[in-house]
Amino acid sequence: MKDIEKYRQRMIALASHSSMVDSDVIKASTELDSLINQYQSQTRYYKKQ
């Protein structure tokens, strides 16, 4: 969860200084999406047990 928040803050900071279609913002968004997907997968796995 800390990593998700860290990447979210990073993406917001990047976007506030540039465009939402800037390559760095898109990269940060993609990394954030990946972390969220991993978290959701782990959460679903543990709920099934």
Output the pLDDT for position 46. 74
pTM for the structure as a whole: 0.81
9: Cβ–Cβ under 8 A, 6 or more apart, which residues? Answer: none
pLDDT tens digits for 1-49?
Answer: 899 999 999 999 999 999 999 999 999 999 999 999 999 999 887 777 6
Output the pLDDT for position 27. 97
Going from the C-alpha of 3 to that of each of 19, 32, 48, the distances in angstroms are 23, 9, 24
Output the pLDDT for position 26. 97
Going from the C-alpha of 4 to that of each of 9, 15, 20, 48, 49, the distances in angstroms are 9, 16, 19, 23, 24
Output the pLDDT for position 12. 96
